[in-house]
Amino acid sequence: MSAKIYWFSGSGNSLAVARMLAEKLPDAELIPVAEAVNNQPEAADVIGIVCPVYAWGPPALVVRFIRKMKASPDSYIFTVMTFAGSQGGAPLLLRGMLQDRGLDLHAAWGVKMPENFPPLGSAPAPKKQNEINGSADEKIAQIAEELQTLPRGSYEVSGGIWKIFSKIMYLSFRYFLSHRADRFFRADSNCNGCGLCAEVCPVGDIEMVDGKPEWKGRCEQCYACFHWCPQNAVQYGRSTKVRRYHHPRVSIADFQPQK
């Protein structure tokens, strides 16, 4: 049985989940969505999609990947989506996208993890981060256990009404989640030109020009550049001098190569 787990992640939450699941599935291969979207791997018997929730929906890069993903109608497909407050009907939207391609989503789980969307404010304080990640680890272990039987029809999301709410939310935020929303990024005077923001970006949106990062309008809004800058020098708009966060078991090196 072949298994492929596709992951997309900004602050490392979803990558940490994907890794824990891959350890429990025999011969599971971990593949970054940012790489697979341009170079679709062959279909697998078991396919996992692990990513964050963005505005109650899947990230745009994941949507583009799903539209081309190689899978057979016999493939077992599951998703685990990480979120900070509410996942809304994100798994239902993802399921609809698969169904448009004649595929199905057989199971969906959600894992609550620390917030990483700076326009909404600071990431939680370190003690709170530990508490949230502790509960998340228990939940991921439970998911890994349940996955052993490849359950079908198991969705951790209530009612189709969520699909309608989520579609409205998703469409309302489309502008803010667009590639060009990166024009609000800037590096402040603490930037030392190390280039790590460009390295961690999954889609090559950042170019170093005269020792400073420039954002080039290909952004996927993952906020990796924001959270991983060692100098906390990346700012978004006017009000993002807030606490940064990344998952404690993930490092910048884990993000490469993605593109």
Q: What Rg, from alpha-carbon coordinates, does the chain have?
A: 18
**From ligand SF4, ligand FMN, none, which one binds at residue 199 (CB under 5 to 8 Å depending on kind)?**
none
Q: Which residue has the tokens 């279909």?
A: 43
Please, which residue, 43 or 242, has the CB nearer to ligand SF4? 242
Closest to 2 in 3D by CA, of 40, 42, 32: 42
Select the residue interacting with ligand FMN from 4, 12, 225, 236 (CB under 6 A): 12
* Matching residue, tokens 């439970």: 142
Please count the residues of this chain forming the interface with ligand SF4, following the rule CB under 6 A. 29
Binding ligand FMN (rule: CB under 6 A), the pick from 24, 45, 86, 216 is 86
- The partner in contact with residue 84, picked from ligand SF4, ligand FMN, none with C-beta cut-offs of 5 to 8 angstroms by kind, is ligand FMN
Phi-psi region of 210 (alpha: psi -120 to 50; beta: other; left: phi over 0): left
In the list ligand FMN, ligand SF4, none, the entry touching 255 (Cβ below 5 to 8 angstroms by class) is none
How near is the Cβ of 61 to ligand SF4 at its closest, in Å? 8
Q: How far is CA 173 from the centre of its chain?
A: 17
Kindly state whether residue 117 participates in binding ligand FMN, applying the rule CB under 6 A.
Answer: yes
Spatial separation of the C-alpha atoms in residues 57 and 49, rounded to whole Å: 13
**Contact assessment for residue 73 and residue 103, using Cβ atoms and an 8 Å cutoff:** yes
Q: How far is CA 247 from CA 120, 133, 202, in A?
A: 19, 8, 17
Compare residues 39 and 189 and give the one whose CB is closer to ligand SF4: 189
User: Which listed residue (52, 58, 91, 124) binds ligand FMN by CB under 6 A?
Assistant: 52
What sign does the dihedral 160-163-168-173 (CA atoms) show?
positive
Q: Which does 53 bind (CB under 5 to 8 A by kind): ligand FMN, ligand SF4, none?
A: ligand FMN
What is the rounded CA–CA span in Å between residue 110 and residue 129?
17
- Please select the residue that binds ligand SF4; options are 11, 221, 240, 258, rule is CB under 6 A: 221
Binding residues for ligand SF4 (CB under 6 A)? 10, 182, 187, 191-197, 200-203, 205-206, 213, 215, 219-225, 229, 231, 233-234
